[in-house]
A and B are shown apart, each in its own frame.
Chain A
Amino acid sequence: MKSQSKFLSIVSLIFFLLSSSPAQAQMSEITLPLKDGSVRFLAVGDTGRGNDDQYELGRVMAEYHKKFPFEFAILTGDNIYGKEKARDMKEKFEDVYRPLLDQGVKFYASLGNHDESNQRFYELFNMNGNEYFNFKKDCVSFYSLNSNYMDRRQLEWLNNTLATDDSKWKIAFFHHPPYSSGKRHGSSEDIREALEPIFVKYGVNVVFTGHEHFYERIKPQKGIFYFITGAGGKIRSGGIKKDSDFTAKGFDTDLSFMLVEIAGDEMFFQVIAKSGATVDSGKIALPQKALTKAAK
């Protein structure tokens, strides 16, 4: 009798341990529509620490990839903290996302204030030797920018490339957030001053950034949707100011990443915490102006 109850407690303990594993237990339902032919990706930043939390989040990403097979991921910078030797690239990136890499998920990086310029040569970051670059997926045009060194050369390239870009969706991703309710860094006003007029002029719709170690959806600014998704490796708990006018939704108590799906004129997003919980979700419709322009 005694040994039977001991056996039962061991079984319940194993069951408890298995069920409390974040990648298995608390998976949310996917709220994204999974439409045929849609563009699907993951967005995350400030990842490259090689710590347990980053690995755990990597496992949650891989679990969600099974439910929502995204084709690629965008990194909003601080891809590798600390040393950047070959072994660091492996421990702080390759090993963490191995399940996704093995599934053929491509990572497109942008550079943060902890990233060496030489990352642009690293095959798995798909930067092709460039600190800033553009790539297209169907009707979506992506701009990876280097907000750490926004010089004349880069601004001219951005102006010229956007001027001839007739994609329906234009999405920029980079490290420093033009709008942020972070207590530590806050809005990067210099970057806002440099980029916002260009984004407005050429109809950039959505911007993903990092640098702040939390998730924040900013209320639309001049028609642009800004997201901070910098909780990929370490959380700044309580890092979001409570009384900020910018915040539409903030989450600063756990690591997180974004799943995004673009189908026609709509962009859907779902934000997943390391616990597996959905902490934000929604839909953005392309403004009428952009639709008319894209139709021409």
Chain B
Amino acid sequence: MRAVINHYILCIATVVCAFSGVQMVSGQTPYPDSDIAIEKAFRKQVDEYVALRNRLESTLPALSTKATPEEIDAHELKLRILVQNARAEFKRGSIFDSRTAAYFLRLIKQNYPRKKRAELKTAALTADTNEVLLKVNFPYPDDQELLEMPPKLLLALPELPAELRYRFVRKALLIVDRENRVIVDFMPDAIP
């Protein structure tokens, strides 16, 4: 009986949080999904993006591995426009929903010590990324720095398909397409 009551309390709390926009942080609030389920959902979203962009890319002439700069420019631009049009309705949070963002925060905290996180925060805030507009479906400008991702974090975070990259911009963690530079999604305040 007690378990049933607890279950109802949890459901009500989840609904309240969902409607009020409050983030449920794992470890602080009971959370029904396991980490595996969160990762699975994350991968599903990521794979869906990759399937879409690969399908769109297959409609373009293949880019040679010995291309001219003009061919590289043209391919990048065409692919970007195709992806942007196909994802015009996408908003922030399609991949980093609140549960996933909380999970990522926990992973970063657990796998990257406080001192390192402070260094990373300083590096991210002083990097030459001021002109990166944090907007889903916008391109990461080609003249902005790509701050190096700490290998330790890359090993701790869910691995992305080769087409995608994690990038820190100021305090946010982005997922960016490495070929068309589209910002696929991002979570703000990603360095705890």
Output the residue of A83, A84, A118 with the most chain B CB within 10 A. A118
Residues B70 and A121 in contact, CB atoms below 8 Å apart: no
Residues A85 and B148 in contact, CB atoms below 8 Å apart: no
Chain A positions within 8 Å of B72 at CB level: 86, 118, 121-122
Tell me, rounded to whole Å, the shortest Cβ–Cβ distance linking A291 to chain B: 31
Q: Does chain B have a CB within 8 A of A149?
A: yes
- CB contacts under 8 Å to B, within A159-178, are 175-176
Q: Does chain A have a CB within 8 A of B73?
A: yes
CB closest chain-B residue, reference A130? B65
Residues B142 and A194 in contact, CB atoms below 8 Å apart: no
Tell me, rounded to whole Å, the shortest Cβ–Cβ distance linking B83 to chain A: 15
A87 to B70 alpha-carbon distance, docked (Å): 9
The segment from B3-11, B52-60, B103-111, B151-159 found at the interface with A is B151-159
CB closest chain-A residue, reference B76? A118
What sequence of 0s and 1s flags, for each residue 137-157 of chain B, a beta carbon within 8 Å of any chain A beta carbon? 000001101111111101100
What is the interface residue range for chain A against chain B? 35 or more
Q: Does chain A have a CB within 8 A of B179?
A: yes
A148 to B145 alpha-carbon distance, docked (Å): 11
Q: A152-B154, A153-B159 are in contact. Are A116 and B142 (CB under 8 A)?
A: yes
CB closest chain-A residue, reference B74? A86
Residues B69 and A85 in contact, CB atoms below 8 Å apart: yes
Q: Does chain A have a CB within 8 A of B22?
A: no
Which residue of B65, B152, B160 is within 8 Å of A190 (Cβ)?
A: B152
- Extra pairs beyond A113-B145, A122-B69, A152-B155 (9, CB < 8 Å): A85-B142, A86-B69, A118-B76, A121-B67, A147-B148, A149-B148, A150-B154, A152-B159, A153-B162
* 17 A-B contacts (beta carbon < 8 Å): A85-B142, A87-B69, A88-B69, A113-B146, A114-B146, A117-B165, A117-B179, A121-B71, A123-B66, A123-B67, A149-B165, A150-B151, A150-B154, A151-B159, A151-B160, A190-B148, A194-B152
